[in-house]
Amino acid sequence: MTGKPRRVVVTSPRTAAARRPRHPLTREIDEQTRLGEVYMRSLVRTQFRLALFVCTLLACLVGGLPLLFLLVPDLRSAQLLGLPLPWVVLAGLIYPAFIAGAWLYVWQAERNERDFADLVERQ
């Protein structure tokens, strides 16, 4: 019990601190620094890829149907549940397909925005 307690060096890996930028990210975006631009471009690109994906699916469905009817003439007069197949598809089934596509898009687009906002605000 004699003497001073032994000195202990307290250190920290400071990993989080080392990665923290000097400004909040919103300021990087406001000042249009290169970092802010990188973040903005990544947001726009993510949303654009999603939009393009939905549009491509839509184009395949909508653009493919007339082609299918052209190339496979039997489909034009085919019957489904006693109704002409083209009518079942074009006057019925295609609408729920649109709504399902729209619903999935909204879900994913909101998620992308949430991720972006979390990323920017976490810093």
Partner 1 sequence: MSIAAVVVVVLAAILIGAFGIRMSRTTSDFYVASRTVSPLWNASAIGGEYLSAASFLGIAGLLITYGADMLWLPVGWTGGYLVLLVLVSAPLRRSGAYTLPDFAEARLESMAVRRASSVLVVLIGWFYLMPQFQSAGLVFRTITGAPEWAGGLVVAGVVAANVLSGGMRSITFVQAFQYWLKLTALAVPLVFMLLAWRSDGFPGLPPGDPWALPLHGREHPLYETYSLILATFLGTMGLPHVLVRFYTNPDGRAARRTTLVVLTLLGAFYLMPAIYGYLGRVYGLPATDTVVLTLPGRLVGGVGGELLTALITAGAFAAFLSTSSGLTVSVAGVIAQDILRGGVRSFRVATVLAVVVPFALAGTARSLPVATVVGLAFAVAASSFCPLLVLGIWWRRLTTVGAMSGLLLGGGLACAAVLATITGGPDTGWMGALLSQPAAWTVPISFAVMVVVSLLTPSRVPAGVARTMVRLHTPERLNVDRGDWRPRSL
From residue 38, give the alpha-carbon distance in Å to each of 42, 43, 50, 116: 6, 9, 18, 12
Residue whose pair of structure tokens reads 């990210």 in the numeric block: 25
Among 80, 98, 111, 123, binds partner 1 (CB under 8 A): 98
Tokens linked to 65: 């149907």
Among 20, 38, 102, 123, binds partner 1 (CB under 8 A): 102
Number of other CB atoms surrounding residue 28 within 10 Å: 21
Under the criterion CB under 8 A, does residue 51 sit at the interface with partner 1?
yes
Contact in structure between 50 and 115 (CB atoms under 8 Å): no
CB of 105 to partner 1, least distance (A): 5
Site for partner 1 in 55-94 (CB under 8 A): 55, 58, 62-63, 66, 69-70, 76-77, 84, 86-87, 90-92, 94
Tokens linked to 105: 């898009």
Instruction: Report the chain's terminal Cα–Cα distance, integer Å.
Output: 47
Among 72, 103, 111, 123, binds partner 1 (CB under 8 A): 103
Contact in structure between 25 and 120 (CB atoms under 8 Å): yes
Contact in structure between 40 and 29 (CB atoms under 8 Å): yes
CB of 21 to partner 1, least distance (A): 15
Whichever of 20 and 95 has its CB closer to partner 1, that residue is 95
Sites of contact with partner 1 (CB under 8 A): 26, 29-30, 32, 37, 40, 43-44, 47-48, 50-51, 54-55, 58, 62-63, 66, 69-70, 76-77, 84, 86-87, 90-92, 94-96, 98-99, 101-103, 105-106, 109-110, 113-114, 116-117, 120-121
